[in-house]
């Protein structure tokens, strides 16, 4: 919708550019409507080509979907991993920074739609699920867990098993993304994502206070 129309004249498109344009159009449709409800005709039209052309590049709807997912899971996790490694200072700040960055770079962008898409369709596309799990989820969890472990090691967080706590800790961010792409249109219970993130981080850090400390 907010995507500017490609202004290049049709006959000048380069062969190599085609698949990218198709994937971009498909991404938008899939994110907007889900897998089943996305009509290939809409994808084609939104990419400015005919339905038949899609089949020149992708065997069928399923393969197109898989290609979309693979293409768009270019995790910016790598950067985050480096940022964590280089960070100096209190772990609470690190955790806050990491989560806020996540929200800003992923959760509040179109990529959040991919997350929702994956949750919604993982069951129907097991190999995609495996792929996504390895490339994204496992690494992201590892990153969070490493921050937790750092906090524990430095005595800033209460002792706990970071691997176990990570999914719990991460859940609200993911839910916020999913919420935005599901129920918000019919009832925006969570109308201020920023406030949500702040409250969430506050509550989380309180829960991590080491024993013996006095609650502020």
Partner DNA sequence: AATGAATGAGGTTTCATTCAT
Partner DNA sequence: AATGAATGAAACCTCATTCAT
Residues of this chain that bind a copy of itself (CB under 8 A): 32-34, 36-37, 116, 118-124, 126, 129-130, 132-133, 137-138, 141, 158, 160-161, 164-165, 167-172, 174-176, 178-179, 181-183, 185-187, 189-190, 195-196, 199-200, 203-204, 206-216
Per DSSP, 106 falls in state I
The whole-angstrom separation of Cα 22 and Cα 53 is 9
The nearest distance, CB 136 to DNA, in angstroms, is 22
Residue with tokens 């985050």: 80
Please tell me the total number of residues recorded for the chain in this structure: 216
Is residue 61 part of the contact set for DNA (CB under 7 A)? yes
Interacting partner of 194 out of DNA, a copy of itself, none (Cβ under 5 to 8 A depending on kind): none
Is residue 10 part of the contact set for DNA (CB under 7 A)? yes
The whole-angstrom separation of Cα 117 and Cα 181 is 9
The whole-angstrom separation of Cα 160 and Cα 152 is 8
Is residue 56 part of the contact set for DNA (CB under 7 A)? yes
Identify whether the C-beta of residue 152 lies closer than 8 Å to the C-beta of residue 159.
Answer: yes
- 13 or 21: CB nearest a copy of itself: 13
Identify whether the C-beta of residue 64 lies closer than 8 Å to the C-beta of residue 58.
Answer: yes
Is residue 189 part of the contact set for DNA (CB under 7 A)? no
The whole-angstrom separation of Cα 36 and Cα 33 is 8
- 8 or 194: CB nearest a copy of itself: 194
- 21 or 81: CB nearest DNA: 21
Interacting partner of 189 out of a copy of itself, DNA, none (Cβ under 5 to 8 A depending on kind): a copy of itself
Is residue 39 part of the contact set for DNA (CB under 7 A)? yes
Identify whether the C-beta of residue 139 lies closer than 8 Å to the C-beta of residue 75.
Answer: yes
Interacting partner of 51 out of a copy of itself, DNA, none (Cβ under 5 to 8 A depending on kind): DNA
Phi, psi (5° rounding) for residue 184? -55, -40
Joined tokens for residue 32 = 């907007």
Q: How big is the site for DNA, counted in residues (CB under 7 A)?
A: 24
The nearest distance, CB 65 to DNA, in angstroms, is 10
Per DSSP, 38 falls in state -
Q: Which residues bind DNA (CB under 7 A)?
A: 9-15, 18, 37-41, 49-53, 55-56, 59-62
């Amino acid at each position: 919708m907010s995507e500017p129309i490609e202004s290049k004249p049709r006959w000048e498109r380069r062969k190599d550019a085609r698949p990218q344009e198709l994937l971009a159009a498909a991404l938008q449709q899939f994110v907007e409507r889900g897998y089943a409800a996305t009509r290939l005709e809409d994808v084609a039209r939104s990419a400015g080509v005919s339905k038949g052309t899609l089949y020149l590049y992708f065997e069928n709807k399923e393969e197109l979907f898989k290609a979309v997912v693979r293409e768009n899971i270019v995790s910016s996790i790598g950067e985050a991993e480096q940022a964590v490694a280089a960070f100096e200072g209190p772990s609470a700040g690190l955790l806050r920074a990491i989560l806020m960055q996540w929200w800003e770079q992923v959760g509040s962008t179109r990529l959040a739609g991919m997350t929702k898409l994956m949750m919604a369709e993982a069951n129907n596309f097991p190999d995609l699920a495996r792929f996504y799990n390895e490339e994204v989820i496992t690494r992201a969890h590892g990153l969070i867990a490493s921050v937790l472990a750092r906090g524990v090691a430095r005595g800033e967080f209460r002792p706990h098993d970071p691997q176990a706590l990570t999914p719990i800790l991460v859940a609200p961010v993911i839910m916020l993304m999913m919420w935005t792409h599901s129920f918000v249109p019919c009832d925006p219970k969570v109308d201020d994502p920023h406030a949500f993130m702040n409250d969430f981080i506050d509550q989380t850090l309180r829960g991590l206070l080491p024993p013996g400390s006095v609650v502020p």
